[in-house]
Structure 1
Amino acid sequence: MRLSGDFMVICDERILEYLSENETGTPKQMEDSGLVRFSRSYITQRAKVLLNHGMLRHLGNGVYTLSEEGQQYLDGELDAATLEPKEE
């Protein structure tokens, strides 16, 4: 069972699941796949939130991949409520 954090919304789950299946992806690829049924701008916004909480890694040029924490969350091994945002 996954334990989400207060910062998370359903789009975040879809982003994490997409990256688990595809290894890497851009917000445009996620939107075009039909698996993440949100606008590219909203996916970009949510990816930045997930990145700030350590669940994603940014590879450059808008390409994201799961972090170890992101994979642990998907596997039900991490309570996302324990993740603190990075200071900006």
Structure 2
Amino acid sequence: MTIWDDRILEIIREKGPKPVGKLTERDEIRICQSSVSRRCNKLAENGLLAPLGNGVYTITDRGKAYLDEEYDAENEVFLNGNSSRNGPNASQTSES
């Protein structure tokens, strides 16, 4: 995980699904579009983001848990026995 991963997740959580190009335009993101794209792909591979198509990503329950410090992305485990987001649909988004 990098500082940019945290920023990407925070922006998508706050503002909703975003395409890579729009993320790159944000003041909080100071890396090029190809780097943002690589980070989004890596976050999606690890279940923290979900691709919606055409370079648009949304945050998953696992991504929200990571931001809430309820999920350890490095070790891929939920913390403090929090299993409410850990299950067959843990990487899918929820309606909120």
TM category (shorter chain) comes to 0.7 to 0.9
Larger Rg, first or second structure (1 or 2): 2
Separation in 1, partners of 2:56, 2:43: 13
Can you list the C-alpha shifts for 1:14-41, whole angstroms capped at 9, x where unaligned? 1111111111111110111222121111
Name segments (4+ residues, structure 1) moved above 3 Å: none
Deviation at 1:83, TM superposition (A): 2.4
Q: What count of residue pairs does the alignment treat as equivalent?
A: 77
2:51 to 34, 58, 62: 58
Question: What TM-score, normalized by structure 1, do the two folds share?
Answer: 0.81
- What residue in structure 2 maps to residue 67 of structure 1? 60
1:28 to 21, 26, 29: 21
Matched, 1:46 2:39: yes
Partner SS state of residue 5, structure 2: helix
Q: Which runs of 5+ in 1 are unaligned?
A: 1-7
Separation in 2, partners of 1:69, 1:82: 13
Partner SS state of residue 28, structure 1: helix
Q: Which amino acid aligns with 1:21?
A: E
- What residue in structure 2 maps to residue 16 of structure 1? 9
Higher helix share: 1
Question: What TM-score, normalized by structure 2, do the two folds share?
Answer: 0.75
